[in-house]
Amino acid sequence: MRYFLGLIMLVLALSGCSDAKPSIKENANAEKETNVNEEEEQVASTSTELTPPEGLTLKADNEGMVPASIEIPALDVNTEIEKVGRLKNGQMGVPKGFDTVGWFSEGAKPGAPGNAVMAGHVDSKTGPAIFYKLEDLERGDEIIVKDNDKQTLTFVVTGKEKYDRKNAPVDKIFDYAYGSKLNLITCTGNFNRDEGTHEERLVVYTELKN
Amino acid sequence: MNKKMKKAFIAVPLSVSLLIPTFSVADAHGHESHSKGHMSAEVTNPAIDLRASLDTLLSEHAFLAVVAMQKGIDGKEDFEAAAGQLNQNTEALSKAVASVYGEEAGMQFKEIWSSHIGYFVDYVTATADNNEEGRKKALADLDGYRVKQADFLDQATEGRLKAKDLEEGLKVHVDQLVWAFESYRTGDYEKAYDNITEAMNHMFMTGKGLSWAITDQFPEKFENKSVDTPAADLRADLNSVFSTHAALAALTMQKGIDGAKDFEAAAAELNENTDDITAAVESVYGAEGAAQFKEIWSSHIGYFVDYVTATAENNEEGKQQAIKELDEYRAKQAAFLDTATEGRLKAADLEEGLKVHVDQLLAAFNSYTGKDYPAAYKNISEAYGHMFGVGQAMSGAIVDQFPEKFAGEKPSEMPKTGMGGMSRTNNDAVMWSFFGFLLAALTGAMVLRKKATNN
């Protein structure tokens, strides 16, 4: 990732140079020849024998990724990710498949600062779906998310909560955060036939493993 | 609504408060094209303004730190003034912290924050003395600083910013400054200037994180507004590219008149910044508009170079000519933006705003050549702050013009992630979906029993 960014920056740097207005370059040269400050050029005057420090980070590695697949070893889950959005009624969208997971693509990317959110069905009309056993996850369990560029991010479960479907802290679940989080949502509780939905929602909270 | 500078929660420093009125969006909300109160489509509210204020202070800190380190190692006459401006920035930041967390916290913050500037000075001094031990000690001190600073902010924000994440973020900041300095010292100027841009840009993330934590902690003081909206991000992105322009322009002019070896690299970075701004324009107004913009925008950089060259040649006429061309530039640039934003930014206001920008950069340069260094750095600071007004005005106009691009609302309800096939119903806790039961039986998934009893 960092190499990739470095490459982009290099390309930008090169194109930036070649794009330079001719007048700037000409003037720059003219200026060098006719430097009015007749004092000698003041440049870094120290020896370069000193050892530059190692292991420096040029850029925070937190662009995040567009997730393509999710693996939850503790649940034996390994599936593809669909992008979902926000429905007209304000609900987070859900994946079309019962064996896939939906990522709220208008929100944070996994690995970027903020709460990335993914939802999966607990059941279909006829049987269990991908997040059927989500509530079995325990603190410390790992969630592995991959993109299409072979990038892998591992998140660690930090907690889980059940909320009444109408009283979940939606703002918090989708809020910005300084760290990188991934929240997994599914349904739980009794199924309300009249409303056609479960009475509760389960949220498993995870954060990026260092 | 833009003229009505709401009293910001934090003490807005002079450099920030100076900038907005002359360059405001012309009654952007007079249009009836979209519903008012669309929360995510506003670029200014107390929360977003806090974010912008912190972005200003934090990114200017990074810029001034890099400059002071360069001037320090070169033993330049303006080192004291650059360092002085950096200290003023620390004052303003500490005041901001005090306004949120109280006087005592402000003092504590100032002590910790100042310490890291001190360690950078130690690093530069040790480098000048060829003192490897001293350099190592300074780096170790910076490591210690990161822990303290992270701990302070974790406590202040009551854990909204986690010390672990903060330490990582602070490491990037420290490393960027060390790297910028090392690249400069060893003559890898291209890298040095890449790092300046990165170091400034990084602080916008810090500003977002900090303003998010504060507004989350004291929501009622910020009208329960969020700093995390597409419109707010646009404002921050434009603030970043425009303020980097001012910073690099001022520094490049200094390097030019000094005939410094890093002039070319500084100028190249300034051109890269032009590309960044052009890319932003393109994303909104398309390739053709962007090309036009780039031509006009680059021309004013060229005229500044002309001014520097004329100064170097003691050519008064050349200087006047450059100023005349800058006047003409202002009219062109203003007309372009007026047209692009369909009158949301008025040419007359824009010309005024651009005059401020041009005058600030010229004043900064003239003070520098006149050896009035405190004035030079005061001018640079004002020029830097002014660009945040530009970012606000531009983003306000763009969001008003293309509201649908900035709707990006978050969900207000949880997803409907179940069809009930495997669940009890609230009507009859015993009854299972027949098909579900059948399927469960068929697949022999006996775990289901556990699920049922849990429910």
Q: What is the DSSP letter of A143?
A: E
pLDDT at B4 over 50: no
Q: Which pLDDT band, with edges at 50, 70 and 90, does A50 fall under? A: confident
Residue A91 has its nearest CB partner, among B208, B226, B414, at B414
- So what's the pLDDT on residue B135? 97
Contact B274, B297 (CB under 8 A): yes
> Which residues lie below 8 Å from residue B415, measured CB to CB, with a gap of 6+?
A84, A91, A92, A93, A94, A102, A119, A185, A201
Res A16 pLDDT > 80: no
> Which of A43-57, B209-223, B346-360 shows the lowest per-residue confidence on average (mean pLDDT)?
A43-57
**A199: helix, strand or coil:** strand
pLDDT tier for residue B444 given thresholds of 50, 70 and 90: low
Handedness of CA B190, B193, B198, B201 (dihedral sign): negative
User: For residue B41, what pLDDT is reported?
Assistant: 81
Give the pLDDT mean for A67-82.
97
| Cβ-defined contact of B423 to A190 (cutoff 8 Å) | yes
Mean pLDDT of B7-21: 35
Handedness of CA B444, B447, B453, B455 (dihedral sign): negative
Determine the 3-state secondary structure of B323 from DSSP.
Answer: helix
CA distances in angstroms from A184 to A98, A118, B238, B418, listed in the order given: 15, 5, 33, 14
Burial string for B337-362 (b: 16+ CB within 10 Å, else e) reads bbebbeebbbbebbbebbebbbbbbb
Average pLDDT estimate for B95-123: 96
pLDDT bin (cut points 50, 70, 90) of residue A51 is confident
**pLDDT above 90: percentage of residues in chain A:** 68
In contact, A118 and A167? CB cutoff 8 Å: no
**Cβ B165–A179 below 8 Å, yes or no?**
yes
Q: Give the mean pLDDT of A48-67.
A: 84
Q: Is A198 an active-site residue?
A: no
Catalytic pick among A121, A160, A181, A201: A121
Secondary element (H or E) of residue B447: helix B447-454
The DSSP-derived string for B61-129 is HHHHHHHHHHHHHHT-TTHHHHHHHHHHHHHHHHHHHHHHH-HHHHHHHHHHHHHHHHHHHHHHHHHHT
The pLDDT tens digits for B177-193 are: 999 999 999 999 999 99
Q: Does the pLDDT at position A59 exceed 70?
A: yes
pLDDT-derived band at A48, boundaries 50, 70, 90: low
Q: Among residues A54, A11, A12, which one has the least CA distance to residue B136?
A: A54
User: B309 near A27, Cβ under 8 Å?
Assistant: yes
- Coil, helix or strand at residue A79: strand
For B218-346, where are the alpha helices, taking DSSP H only? 230-258, 263-312, 316-340
Which pLDDT tens digit goes with each residue over B222-279?
A: 999 999 999 999 999 999 999 999 999 999 999 999 999 999 999 999 999 999 999 9
Contacts of B451 (CB under 8 A, 6+ apart): A132, A133, B422
The mean predicted confidence, pLDDT, of chain A is 83
Residues 6 or more apart in contact with residue B58 via CB below 8 angstroms:
B93, B203, B204, B206, B207, B210
Domains located in chain A, CATH noted:
69-208 (2.40.260.10)
Q: Is the Cβ–Cβ distance between A162 and A188 less than 8 Å?
A: yes
Per-residue confidence at B53, pLDDT binned at 50, 70, 90? very high
Residue identified by tokens 């069809």 is B419
Instruction: Compute the half-sphere exposure of residue B405: CA atoms within 13 Å on the CB side of its CA.
Output: 15
* Closest-CA distance of chain A to residue B70, Å: 8
Q: What is the pLDDT of residues B363-416, one digit of tens each?
A: 999 999 999 999 999 999 999 999 999 999 999 999 999 998 888 788 999 999
Over residues B151-177, the pLDDT tens digits come to 999 999 999 999 999 999 999 999 999
CA distances from A203 to A12, A158, B86, B430 (A): 42, 11, 45, 26
Strands A101-104 and A77-84: parallel
Where do we find the tokens 């001094």? B125
Query: Tokens at residue B55, please?
Result: 């972005």
Q: Is the dihedral of CA B244, B250, B256, B262 positive or negative?
A: negative
Where is A78: in which H helix or E strand?
strand A77-84
Q: Is B302 close to A24, i.e. CB distance below 8 A?
A: yes
CA distances B410 to A89, A138, B42, B160, B179, Å, are 12, 28, 15, 20, 38
A36 pLDDT higher than 80: no
B286 close contact with A: CB closer than 8 A: no
More confident residue, A32 or A51: A51
User: pLDDT at residue B31 above 60?
Assistant: no
**A54 touching chain B per CB within 8 A:** no
Question: Using one digit for the tens of pLDDT, what is the confidence trace for A94-124?
Answer: 999 999 999 999 999 999 999 999 999 999 9
What pLDDT score does B149 carry? 97
pLDDT value at residue A60: 81
- CB contact under 8 Å between B178 and A92, yes or no, is no
pLDDT of residue A57: 82
Two tokens, residue A158 = 């930090």
d(CA B80, CA B5): 34
pLDDT band at residue A56 using 50, 70 and 90 as cut-offs: confident
State which residue of chain B sits closest to A85, comparing Cα positions: B411
Q: Is A187 annotated in the active site? A: yes
CA dihedral sign of residues B148, B152, B158, B164: negative
CB atoms A123 and B176 under 8 Å: no
pLDDT score recorded for residue B328: 96
Find tokens 């730190």 and name the residue. Answer: B65
**Residue B238 — φ and ψ, nearest 5°?**
-70, -40
Q: Which two tokens stand for residue A32?
A: 């060098």
* CA–CA distance, B396 with B349 (Å, rounded to integer): 14
Q: What is the distance between the alpha carbons of residues B112 and B90, in angstroms, rounded to a whole number?
A: 11
The reply to whether residue B436 touches residue A127, judged by beta carbons under 8 angstroms, is yes
Distance from CA of B127 to the nearest CA of A (A): 7
* Rounded Cα gap, residues A108 and A9, in angstroms: 24
Please say whether the beta carbons of B302 and B328 come within 8 A: no
Residues in A touching B308 (Cβ below 8 Å): 27, 31
User: What is residue B163's three-state secondary structure?
Assistant: helix
Beta bridge partners of A118: A103, A184
pLDDT at residue B368 in the model? 98
| pLDDT, averaged across chain B | 87
Residues of A within 8 A of B302 (CB-CB) are 21, 23-24, 27
Reported as a pLDDT band with limits 50, 70 and 90, residue B19 is very low
Spatial distance between the Cα atoms of A119 and B415, rounded to a whole number of angstroms: 7
Query: What is the sign, positive or negative, of the torsion defined by CA atoms of B10, B13, B17, B19?
Result: negative
List the domain boundaries for chain B: 10-16+42-228, 229-418
Q: What is the pLDDT of residue B427?
A: 55
Kindly state the percentage of chain A with pLDDT values over 70. 77
**DSSP alpha helices (H): ranges in chain A?**
2-19, 22-33, 170-173
Q: Is B275 helix (H, G, I), strand (E, B) or coil?
A: helix
Does residue B349 carry a pLDDT above 80?
A: yes
Q: Which of residues 414-453 of B touch A (CB under 8 A)?
A: 414-427, 429, 433, 435-436, 438-440, 443, 445, 447-448, 451
Cα–Cα distance for residue pair B170/B206, rounded to 1 Å: 9
pLDDT for B14 beyond 70: no
pLDDT in tens, B273-323: 999 999 999 999 999 999 999 999 999 999 999 999 999 999 999 999 999
Q: B190 Cβ partners below 8 Å, 6+ apart?
A: A13, B265, B268
